[in-house]
Amino acid sequence: MTCVTPTAQLGSFHQSPYWKLRARFREYGLFDSELAQVTGIAQATLSRRMRGTMPWTSDEITTICRVLNIPQEQVGAYFFPDLEKEEHA
């Protein structure tokens, strides 16, 4: 069994506001730039959205959900993580 050592600081991935969304598109083998290209969202815009410095538009959410096969009942978990935390508190 091969042991893999993480290159990023432990926990840094989960500190991103949209870490769950990023994990989803990584499952599909996509990086930010590739997701931007496939969805038609400018890479700089996608980057700002992923950092949480700009809000998502409903069209962007719809497009990303279609590309990544995110079911409607899971949209909140991917795009509104703060609301998900409140509901489970």
Domain boundaries, the chain: 15-88
pLDDT mean over 43-67: 94
pTM for the structure as a whole: 0.74
Q: What is the mean pLDDT of residues 45-61?
A: 93
What value does the mean pLDDT take over residues 60-81? 94
Q: State residue 81's pLDDT score.
A: 75
Q: How far apart are CA 32 and CA 26, in angstroms?
A: 9
In 1-89, which ranges are continuous DSSP H helix?
19-27, 32-39, 43-51, 58-67, 75-79, 81-88
Cβ atoms of residues 18 and 78 within 8 Å: yes
Higher per-residue confidence, 85 vs 46: 46
Whether 79 shows a pLDDT value over 50: the answer reads yes
| Superfamily (CATH) of domain 15-88 | lambda repressor-like DNA-binding domains (1.10.260.40)
* Structure confidence by residue, pLDDT tens digits, 5-47: 334 444 444 557 889 999 999 999 999 999 999 999 999 999 9
Going by C-alpha positions, the residue among 43, 49, 48 that lies closest to residue 61 is 49
Integer Cα distance of 28 and 1 in angstroms: 25
